[in-house]
Homo-oligomer: A and B are copies of this chain.
Amino acid sequence: MKRIILVLVTAAAAVGAVAYLASASDQANGEAAPVFLSEIPKGYRDLKLIAVSRLSAGNGTSQLRAELGNDIAIKAYRERKLPFPDGAIIAALHWNEVSSEENNRVLAQGFPGAGIQSFVPGSGVNMQFMVKDSKRYAATGGWGFGDVTNGKSGDAKLMQTCFACHVPAKDRDYVFTHYAP
């Protein structure tokens, strides 16, 4: 998988809303630990299913969403153990929901029930990641957050909203998604 460098925001820079793109030397030099992820977790598309969801906007459009986890995250979910241990990775993949005309043609030919409509993933909206490292990301509940939209990392302004938005889920270790039965 192509390695994509995300926006790095140091703990100090986050306060001042100053962001910069990480270079390999920045990371190698051991500068201040980033608040946000420095790269997309490798192999995220091979992670296991936590759940699916849909976000519907007021304008009639929706996103179809998949939440995936690595083995550490899945084990914690299945054993209902919180907080998630270090090393847990959660990936949230978001697509624009589109109507599937080819599926609807088949459904109209006799699938049980009338008026059934199929919706499938269209273009990708963004991908969001949470990686647990209780020391590295101590300032944000132990989670490093990442956002990639159109192959580009979120800007500093966006990245700073991640943790604040997850605070209401503090009792579930800042993770909104429940494991689908």
> A interface vs B, CB < 8 Å?
45-49, 51-59, 62, 64-66, 68, 74, 93, 95, 97, 100, 102-103, 105-106, 109-111, 113-121, 123-124, 165, 168-169, 176-178, 180-181
A95: min CB distance to chain B, Å: 6
CA distance A102 to B178 in the complex (A): 11
A45 adjacent to B49 (CB under 8 Å): yes
Asked if A57 contacts B116 (CB within 8 A), the reply is yes
Residue in A110, A114, A180 whose Cβ sees the most chain B Cβ within 10 Å = A180
Q: How many copies does the complex hold?
A: 2
28 A-B contacts (beta carbon < 8 Å): A45-B48, A45-B49, A46-B74, A49-B49, A49-B66, A53-B118, A54-B54, A54-B64, A54-B97, A54-B118, A54-B119, A55-B116, A55-B119, A59-B115, A66-B66, A66-B180, A93-B180, A95-B180, A95-B181, A102-B176, A103-B176, A106-B165, A106-B168, A106-B176, A110-B165, A120-B180, A123-B181, A124-B181
Partner of A120, one of B46, B51, B58, B105: B51
Other-chain residue from B57, B102, B123, B176 in contact with A115 (beta carbon distance below 8 A)? B57
**A121 touching B176 by the CB < 8 A rule?**
no
Whether B49 lies near A116 (C-beta < 8 A) is no
Which residues of chain B are near A53, meaning CB under 8 Å? 64, 100, 118-121
Find the B residue at minimum CB distance from A176: B103
**With the chains together, A113 CA to B55 CA distance in Å?**
11
CB distance from A87 to the nearest CB of B (A): 18
- Whole-angstrom CA separation of A76 from B137 in the bound complex: 38
Task: Determine whether the beta carbon of A55 is less than 8 Å from that of B117.
Answer: yes
Q: Check if A114 sits within 8 Å of B58, measured CB to CB.
A: yes
Chain B: minimal CB distance from A78 (Å)? 9
